[in-house]
Amino acid sequence: MAQTLDGKLVAQKVLAEVKAGVSALKDRTGTVPTLAAVLLGDFAPSKIYVANKKKMAAEAGIASRDFLYPEGLSQPDLLALLRRLNADPAIHGILLQLPLPQGCDEDEAIAAIAPEKDVDGFHPMNLGHLLAGAPTVLPCTPAGVMEILDHYGVELKGAEAVVVGRSRIVGKPLAQLLLARHATVTMCHTRTRDLAAHTLRAEVLCVAAGRPQVIKGEMVREGAVVVDVGINRLESGKLVGDVDFESASKRARAITPVPGGVGPMTVAMLMRNTLQAAKRQLQV
């Protein structure tokens, strides 16, 4: 049976480091890093994520301010809110919870956030720095994946790595981070022919397909390390990943569970990004 890569354990380690950093920053400057969360609409998963963020921020000593609009906002009003948060020196990080309600332009809204306050790492300028090999702010979920791999000593140099999923939130930035660590990276997606032919080559398989249990055990190489980024709720109410954990764990050397794998890392890395944003703005 495969080793379980415990994201909760790694997240607590990151959170302890952030808490120490927040305390040191407060002692040195009197400033408490502050994160503004903007949530439009009444999308249940987004509300859960924002609630988890608030709880973890409190644990780390980070202040949080929520801007909740269950009925949504018009695009002009959303942009005006983001401009106010950009101009507020007491706000160090801005989290714009995605997806936005229908009728809002996500690209325009993300680009309206000041790059130095973009703690999600989605601003075009920050993604450009990542592509150029000089990252400033790392997207939280891909950074969390890398943190798990590093914690468990997974060797990436020269490894065959396959990323299933090409979103700008996970797949594309994760591929760049793996390339920067000298892995040989293959990206797959919904139009990939014979997906199993690619996944069976993977020594490190990262799956962010957004489709429940799309990767079956017979698609996993013997001895592979599998990182399941997906989280899906079945009709039964059960939470599952994009990987069929039961069958995949019989072939993999190590695998992340769902829940308790990458999910906690996303919030932990958001806390790290918020601390780093505050330090950059204070120039310390």
Burial class (CB in 10 A: 0-12, 13-18, 19+), 219: buried
- What separation in angstroms does the CA of 131 have from each of 161, 171, 173, 175, 272? 18, 13, 8, 10, 21
What pLDDT score does 124 carry?
97
What pLDDT score does 154 carry?
98
For residue 281, report the phi and psi dihedrals to the nearest 5 degrees.
Answer: -70, -30
Give the burial string for 123-158 (b: 16+ CB within 10 Å, else e).
beebbebbeeeebbbbbbbbbbbbbbbebbebebee
Residue 91 · residue 85 · CB < 8 Å: yes
Residue 265 · residue 14 · CB < 8 Å: yes
Structure tokens at 227: 């990182």
Mean pLDDT of successive 10-residue segments in the chain (284 residues)?
96 98 97 97 81 92 95 96 98 95 95 98 97 95 98 98 96 98 97 97 97 97 98 90 97 97 96 98 96
What pLDDT score does 135 carry?
94
What pLDDT score does 151 carry?
98
| Residues labelled catalytic | 53, 97, 120
Domains of the chain: 31-114 (3.40.50.10860), 140-263 (3.40.50.720)
| Closest of 109, 124, 108, 33 to residue 69, by C-alpha | 109
- What separation in angstroms does the CA of 95 have from each of 48, 86, 256? 14, 12, 26
| Closest of 68, 71, 73, 34 to residue 51, by C-alpha | 68
Structure tokens at 144: 């969390």
| Closest of 21, 40, 34, 98 to residue 266, by C-alpha | 98
What pLDDT score does 12 carry?
97
Beta bridge partners of 67: 38
Q: Please provide the DSSP assignment of 153-197 as one string.
A: T---TT-EEEEE---TTTHHHHHHHHHHTT-EEEEE-TT-SSHHH
